[in-house]
Amino acid sequence: MKKALISLTFIFISIALVACNNNEEPVVKDDDQKETEIDKTKKAEEENDSKVPEKETNEIKAPTERTEQIDGYPWEVYEPYGNEKAIQERVQNGEVVYLFSDADALENEILKSIENADGKKDWWHFNLMYFNINLKDFYPEKKAYFDKMKEVEEALFSSNLDIVPNLINEAKKLRAE
């Protein structure tokens, strides 16, 4: 019984200490001055609130030009197969290698490659991966498209080529939305 009373007393004292430990107690500077530090702080906050613009927008502007002007598409310029490092370094350095306007041509080249069984699935996987990395942050409204293209990328990587045409067709519809 004593232990229960001691525990309850300890709890009540703890609650009382927490409640009394309020750092926003008014501090009067002089007897003549009735305004407290809290009142000054509230007024300063109100003045600052009235000066702050309603909403700042930090829109990411989608690129319309490549960082380095090239003659053709990246997968044409950086071919023959084996020049992945040049693309990889440029994308990782924040350069614009791919444009969203490349999407249709990239999708069609992947389809053509699979249809012809030319053995370049790794090259297309690589280009698609860096296309997604390079552009997805510029087009948050196209998240579903980039997610679908990620599925294409994974299918290419795992050599599940039978499903790639359907995935690309679905992606094309999402891109057009």
Per-residue HEC secondary structure of the chain comes to CHHHHHHHHHHHHHHHHHHHCCCCCCCECCCCCCCEHHHHHHHHHHHHHHHCCCCCCCCCCCCCCCCCCCCCCHHHHCCCCCCHHHHHHHHHCCCCCCCHHHHHHHHHHHHHHHHHCCCCHHHHHHHHHHHHHHHHHHCHHHHHHHHHHHHHHHHHHCCCHHHHHHHHHHHHHHHHC
The pLDDT score that the predictor gives to residue 25 is 47
pLDDT of 39 reads: 57
Q: What is the pLDDT along the chain (177 residues), one digit of tens a residue?
A: 556 556 555 565 656 544 555 544 444 445 545 455 555 555 555 555 544 444 444 566 888 788 888 888 888 887 765 678 888 888 888 888 899 999 999 999 999 999 888 888 888 999 999 999 999 999 999 999 999 999 999 999 999 999 999 999 999 999 998
Model pLDDT, residue 10: 56
What's the confidence (pLDDT) of residue 49?
A: 52
Q: Where are the domains of the chain?
A: 74-176
